[in-house]
Amino acid sequence: MTTPVSRRVKSIKHIIIVCSGKGGVGKSSVATQLALSLHASSPNLHIGLLDVDLTGPSLPRMLGLDGHGIHQSSDGWVPVYADAHGQDVPRLACMSIGFLLKNRGDSVVWRGPKKNAMIRQFLSDVRWGELDYLIIDTPPGTSDEHLSLLEHLAPVHSRLSAVIVTTPQAVALLDAMKCLSFTRAVGLPVLGLIENMSGYVCPCCGEVSNVFSMGGGEEMAKREGLPFLGRMPLDPELVTLLDAAEPPGETGGGQEQSSDKAFEVIEKYRKTTSAKLFAPIVDKVVDTIGPIQQVHKAMVF
């Protein structure tokens, strides 16, 4: 069945839903790193990053895009490009409700139907163009936003897959199991599991130390038959980079300064310890996504 959403996303090769059963495990930072690392892995890849955490949008801040607005074209909403100020054709498109808020601190107090309509509009009205990967950052848990995504993307279900993010602690792993249960219930193939906040990167020498517990995510992946994509430590350099954007209006400069900041985030990220550690995770995602989606497509048809 052809729908406005299916017509819009027909030129997107792979859609990756980043999810977690619990808040505070670094899901948005993982989604951001996945987009940045894919962008850095090849000059030919075109990446989209969609933020459907409607009540807590954080991607504009992490990418240094705070203060940007959305422009309307004859073909729909134009996403904000994080690499618009580079010399090459922009390849990293971002869309978030954070771009639609009048004030950065405004709350979004919506019931399920309004959220559903907003997600449908993000998928059907945004001019995504041809993308190799669309990465979707979701809110914690398994709620309205997840169900709306799967409902609207049902015509392209064979292109969907998920990455589950957890921390090593037992409480987070319990909620990650609920997230895994959800993916199995709705037939969403899982590319693998990332154990985030596992260890600590020394800001002086770059050595990774096991300050907190580690290995819980890897053990869960082994037990549940999931690919283990890797573990990411706490990296003060990454935290500083993704949190360094100044709120709009504090320094002036408007959208032009925001675009400069976004391009600076992309360039600086490539030099971080986290970028080096995340590169093998991206390689596993790229190697896994094709075979998994082929198997899923065969099962569907």
Q: pLDDT tens for residues 97-151?
A: 999 988 878 888 888 899 999 999 999 999 999 999 999 999 998 888 999 999 9
Average pLDDT on 9-15 reads 95
Question: In this predicted structure, what is the pLDDT of residue 298?
Answer: 62
Integer Cα distance of 48 and 12 in angstroms: 9
Question: In this predicted structure, what is the pLDDT of residue 252?
Answer: 47
Tell me which of 151-160, 176-185, 222-231, 288-297 is least confident: 288-297
pLDDT at 249 over 80: no
pLDDT: is 67 or 187 the higher one?
Answer: 187
**Rg of the chain's alpha carbons, rounded to an integer?**
18
Rounded alpha-carbon distances, angstroms, from residue 224 to 154, 193, 265, 280: 26, 10, 36, 22
Task: Give residue-wise pLDDT tens across range 251-293.
Answer: 445 565 556 777 788 999 999 999 999 999 999 999 999 877 6
Task: Kindly report the average pLDDT of the chain as a whole number.
Answer: 89
Provide the token pair at 46. Answer: 């075109």
Question: In this predicted structure, what is the pLDDT of residue 248?
Answer: 47
**Residue 234 φ then ψ, to 5°:** -70, 125
Question: In this predicted structure, what is the pLDDT of residue 243?
Answer: 85
Question: Which pTM was predicted?
Answer: 0.91
DSSP character at residue 200: E
Q: Which candidate, 13, 156, 12, 4, places its Cα nearest to that of 75? A: 4
Integer Cα distance of 207 and 200 in angstroms: 8
pLDDT at 172 over 70: yes
Integer Cα distance of 207 and 217 in angstroms: 21
Question: In this predicted structure, what is the pLDDT of residue 10?
Answer: 93
Question: In this predicted structure, what is the pLDDT of residue 251?
Answer: 46
Question: In this predicted structure, what is the pLDDT of residue 246?
Answer: 55
Tell me which of 5-9, 33-37, 108-112, 292-296 is least confident: 292-296
pLDDT: is 247 or 167 the higher one?
Answer: 167
Fill in the amino acid letter for 113.
Answer: P
Share of the chain above pLDDT 70, in %: 91
pLDDT at 59 over 60: yes
pLDDT at 8 over 70: yes
